[in-house]
Amino acid sequence: MTATHPQLVLSGMQPTNTLHLGNYLGALKNWVRMQTEMPCLFCVVDMHALTQESGYAKADDVRRATREVTAAYIAAGVDPKRTPLFAQSMVAEHAELAWIFNCVARLGWLDRMTQFKEKSGKHKERSSAGLYTYPVLQAADILIYKATHVPVGEDQRQHLELTRDIAQKFNNDFAAPDFFPLPEAVITGPGTRVMSLRDGSKKMSKSDESDYSRINLTDDADAIAQKIRKAKTDPLPLPQSEKELEGRPEADNLIAIYAALAEEPVAAVLAQYGGQQFSGFKNALAELAVAKLTPIAAEMRRLMADTAEIDRILKAGAEKASTIAAAVMADVKRIVGFVG
Ligand code: AQP
């Protein structure tokens, strides 16, 4: 990032399903902190939700999830009076810039994206072109505001590198040095990669078939406690040092979740629970997770009872975001040679 660009944070989540603990610890929790440190814009990336078949199949689900994700942002502590919240599709410049970036990004760059490989699986040729160019739209989401900081989970690191490559190539190709900033991924804390509760080698994901693989932000106390008690572990007691967590992905995951929720270093959690059996630790983790997450669920329920108010918040946020986006897009059009 160069000093010429004022600091601005942009991030977003897909309305593909209810948000989960990974979304919260990997990204949302950091958003709440960052809004007090620099100007932020947070969106619900509903256009990205169409890249997966489950997204476009049920329009009502996308609409509902867009409102629910907005409610989750607010319930977790994002203040819409301070920070504009909006849906990506409400600001047309995201799509407009994405086209130009499609002409900047190279096929070879997109071919290397591991998320596309994971999400397309064995049926690459049946995947949407949108899934393939997803990271290009993501670059547009960020750069249409000239954002400099992007708080995300570890899984998004590669996409952020691509965003920087696109920004750099645009600046070079169109002889517009420094026009776009090279945004930084902000990946902090022990919850940057929360893994599935059923399989410590897979990330916790909204689209995992098993609801027991994740803790949803809407889960009640019983569901949270039950999912933690049923979480996969190994037969050994908890280790006493971080080194001994290597090769024990499930133990590593549960300890990291505890540390992130308690806002303590992993070493402090191990000092307290190292040498003990999982059963006692799981009870303590369940208690902590219930204490931290159920107030968010309650607030989400309260907010979702008035969807008209959520829609008003999104509309007001989109108006503010559009002002920035329109100015950047006008400059982009001039730079690439469009007459209008
Ligand atoms: N397991 C995770 N651990 C830490 N951070 C995570 N994020 C997602 N999963 C984890 C972060 O949450 C933000 C929003 O992600 P997204 O909605 O854009 O979609 P995603 O990354 O593809 O998340 P999912 O849950 O896996 O959704 P689906 O299943 O719909 O694809 C991002 O900052 C991400 O890093």
- What confidence tens digit (pLDDT) does each residue in 151-205 have? 999 999 999 999 999 999 999 999 999 999 999 999 988 889 999 999 999 999 9
Task: Kindly report, residue by residue over 264-321, the tens digit of the pLDDT.
Answer: 999 999 999 999 999 999 999 999 999 999 999 999 999 999 999 999 999 999 999 9
| DSSP secondary structure, 40-87, as one string | EEEEE-HHHHTTSHHHHH-HHHHHHHHHHHHHHHHHHT--TTTS-EEE
Strand, coil or helix: 234: coil
Question: Does the pLDDT of residue 211 top 60, yes or no?
Answer: yes
Q: Is 196 in the pocket of ligand 1 (CB under 6 A)?
A: no
Q: Residue 55: what pLDDT?
A: 46
Helices 278-304, 266-273: crossing angle, 10 deg rounding: 130
| CA–centroid distance, residue 336 to ligand 1 (Å) | 33
- Domains, the chain, in order of start with CATH, read 9-186+306-336 (3.40.50.620), 211-301 (1.10.240.10)
Q: Is 46 in the pocket of ligand 1 (CB under 6 A)?
A: no
Q: For strand 184-186 and strand 40-44, is the pairing parallel, antiparallel, or unpaired?
A: unpaired
Q: Measuring from atom 27 of ligand 1, which residue has the nearest CA?
A: 206
Q: Residue 59: what pLDDT?
A: 83
Q: Residue 54: what pLDDT?
A: 54
Q: Is 253 in the pocket of ligand 1 (CB under 6 A)?
A: no
Which is the closest atom of ligand 1 to the Cα of 11? 33
Task: Kindly report, residue by residue over 223-237, the tens digit of the pLDDT.
Answer: 999 999 999 999 999
pLDDT confidence bin for 329, thresholds 50/70/90? very high
| CA–centroid distance, residue 183 to ligand 1 (Å) | 19
Does the pTM surpass 0.85? The reply is yes
Q: Measuring from atom 34 of ligand 1, which residue has the nearest CA?
A: 153
